[in-house]
Amino acid sequence: MADVQTNPSIPVDSNSGFCHKTKTFQSMRPLVPLPPLSQPLSIADFTLSELLLRSSAFKSTTTVLVESSTGVHVSYSLFLSQIHSLTTSLRSSTSLSKGQVAFILTPPSLHVPVLYFALLALGVTISPSNPLGSDSEISYQVRLCNPVIAFATSSTSHKLPSLPLGTILLDSPEFLSMINGSRNGTDRFQQVQVSQSDSAAILYSSGTTGRVKGVLLTHRNLIALLAKFRQLLPETDQNQTEMLQPHPVCLFTLPLFHIFGFIMLVRAVARGETLVLMSRFDLEGMLSAVEKYRVTYIPISPSVVVALAKSDLVNKYDLSSLQLLGSSGAPLGKEVAERFAAKFPNVTIVQGYGLTESGAGGAEMMTPEESRRHGSVGRLSENMEAKIVDPVTGEALPPGHKGELWLRGPTVMNGYVGDDKATAETLDSERWLKTGDLCYFDSEGFLYIVDRLKELIKYKAYQVPPAELEHLLVSHPEIADAAVIPYPDEEAGQIPMAFVVRNPGSNIREAQVIGFIAKQVAPYKKVRRVSFINSIPKSPAGKILRRELLTRALSLGSSRL
């Protein structure tokens, strides 16, 4: 797998990064050097190396993990000792070996990060899944990744089939003895030679379009993503230091089985930060944890940003420690960002863009100045290339034109496990990843996500992006959340239908919702049908599950428009 290297002989626009010769966008951020591909190196070794953990803020007594509900914490010294103990125990008590797959089905806990690092250090491919998944969903994922062993809890193990090396329960005395067997934190765990091209993780895409797929990421993919945090230039480091003082404390509302949560976990450990884990998300619990643990930043989904901007609960808690929100998973509307900024003037929102298939690499904001570009997800990430491709003609387009975003770079997946057809449809022969997202770059290289190509509503001869209407809907003071779907219509083909969650105490009606949107959009974009709902179904990453809403809408039967 070739890594992207910018060719200085090819003229690139210094503002947008667009090359008129190749019709590609180049990252305008400094090139991040990567270890030689021939060097044996796992993402665990890379993350836990002395260089990554050496910082002015880091000490072995620094807390790495805190369980928000109990206050139980783990120091870096104990964390490293537990990884050492678990790797040693797994090698001595099982025949688990490099290249095999471990399926992980467990709620978030202090043991999960230890398990991830131990397995990755052994060269075992981890395949974590949503513990709330149905039996059929879990069975399908197990068939995809073909694991030899599973790690679960007493509450989830019943969903798993019999595997060659069995299932180890994280809440069992056996596992506790495995992680606590050695207390010599200075010893290095027994080394396994892992190639960077070896498989590291099989993570599951959200399945919002088509059946869920197993995304295969290598150690090289993850190292390339993490390397930019190791090689921070003084200028960038200063910008990040300005955004986060004192010692960073990160509240984890993200699922650890998802790419966003997994990468943010590895990143935080690499930087010697403190992570506060929530077993399940609820808004008031999050606010309480911010106050109790003096949280400085939270990686978060846009729906939570909306809730923070609108909820009066925030007034009950001391949130003065909070400085930064990292929003990803879906575009954050300009109106919401501005409303949040007015309510929390001392909290910066930085947006980013990535897919499971891109190893979470894509675009991000890096400075306070970039964070003020509301509506954008930032500039193209280090070592990445992009194209904006006309979905009809296949022509690569310049800045200011909308088309499908294609990405290429060292974080892009190897492919889908057990699905060569889907891999060929998503990765072309030159390893361009077709994201399926309708996007554009502006003249300064900022990326804007319009919507999913497959989710565009085809109203007569027009295309209507649901996200645009959703951003307008949640800007209404009486609407807590909203989703828009394509509803079948004999005359128009499809019409925009809105599912709306009212704010507490609101009695907003369908006609008011329709009129609110009609005043702000072209006639073909108008919402023509409204249904009120208690909550919007979403994936763990915060993406709207439109298929569930469409099924619900069709079950409601015909109604007046």
pLDDT value at residue 236: 37
- Quick: pLDDT tens for 278-310: 988 889 999 999 999 999 999 988 878 888 998
pLDDT value at residue 329: 66
| Residue 7, token pair as written in the block | 């060719």
pLDDT value at residue 231: 43
Residue 254 pLDDT exceeds 60 = yes
28 contact partners, CB below 8 Å, separation of at least 6: 14, 17, 379, 380, 445
Give yes or no for a contact between 484 and 469, defined as CB atoms under 8 angstroms apart.
yes
Q: Distance of CA 490 to CAs 185, 459, 487, 493, Å?
A: 68, 11, 10, 6
Q: Distance of CA 235 to CAs 231, 251, 350, 390, Å?
A: 11, 26, 17, 36
Give yes or no for a contact between 218 and 200, defined as CB atoms under 8 angstroms apart.
yes
Domains, the chain, in order of start with CATH, read 15-35+42-71+245-455 (3.40.50.12780), 74-195 (3.40.50.980), 457-556 (3.30.300.30)
pLDDT value at residue 185: 43
pLDDT value at residue 4: 52
Please give the backbone phi and psi of residue 240, each rounded to the nearest 5 degrees, phi first.
-70, -35
520 contact partners, CB below 8 Å, separation of at least 6: 472
Whether cis (ω within 30° of 0) applies to the bond prior to 246 is yes
pLDDT value at residue 210: 60
Residue 1 pLDDT exceeds 60 = no
Residue 207 pLDDT exceeds 60 = no
Please give, one letter per residue, the 3-state secondary structure of 78-100.
HHHHHHHHHHHHHHHHCCCCCCC
| Residue 480, token pair as written in the block | 């807590």
**What are residue 337's DSSP bridge partners?**
none
Which band of pLDDT confidence, cut at 50, 70 and 90, is reported for residue 52? low
DSSP-assigned letter for residue 158: G
pLDDT value at residue 543: 80
**388: burial class by Cβ within 10 Å (0-12, 13-18, 19+)?**
buried
Question: Residue holding tokens 């990755």?
Answer: 120
What integer best gives the mean pLDDT of the chain?
88
pLDDT value at residue 229: 65
Residue 190 pLDDT exceeds 80 = no
* Of the ranges 6-20, 59-73, 112-126, the best mean pLDDT one: 112-126
Please report which residue ranges of 294-397 form alpha helices under DSSP H: 302-310, 334-343, 368-371
Residue with the larger pLDDT of the pair 67 and 457? 67
- Quick: pLDDT tens for 307-341: 899 888 999 999 999 999 998 866 677 778 888 98
| Residue 65, token pair as written in the block | 């993990």
Question: β-strands 479-489, 447-452: how paired?
Answer: unpaired
pLDDT value at residue 3: 63
Which band of pLDDT confidence, cut at 50, 70 and 90, is reported for residue 450? confident
CA distance linking residue 334 with residue 472, whole number of Å: 9
- Quick: pLDDT tens for 172-189: 999 999 999 754 444 445
pLDDT value at residue 48: 87
- Quick: pLDDT tens for 122-161: 999 999 998 988 888 899 999 999 999 999 999 999 999 9
Give yes or no for a contact between 301 and 308, defined as CB atoms under 8 angstroms apart.
no
Residue 427 pLDDT exceeds 90 = yes
- Quick: pLDDT tens for 344-365: 999 999 999 999 999 988 999 9
pLDDT value at residue 208: 37
Please report which residue ranges of 410-560 form alpha helices under DSSP H: 420-426, 466-474, 510-518, 546-556
Q: Distance of CA 284 to CAs 220, 429, 460, 505, Å?
A: 39, 48, 44, 19
Residue with the larger pLDDT of the pair 8 and 118? 118
Which band of pLDDT confidence, cut at 50, 70 and 90, is reported for residue 526? very high
Share of the chain above pLDDT 70, in %: 89
In three-state secondary structure terms, 3 is: coil
- Quick: pLDDT tens for 494-516: 899 999 999 999 999 999 999 99
- Tell me the one-letter amino acid at 371: S
- What is the spatial order of strands in the sheet that 73-75 belongs to? 73-75, 63-67, 274-277, 249-252, 297-300, 324-327, 348-354, 362-364, 379-380
Helix axes of 334-343 and 466-474: crossing angle, nearest 10 degrees: 30
- Longest Cα–Cα distance in the chain: 72
pLDDT value at residue 232: 39
Q: Distance of CA 225 to CAs 118, 214, 410, 520, Å?
A: 20, 19, 8, 40
Please give the backbone phi and psi of residue 330, each rounded to the nearest 5 degrees, phi first.
-165, 155
Which band of pLDDT confidence, cut at 50, 70 and 90, is reported for residue 247? confident
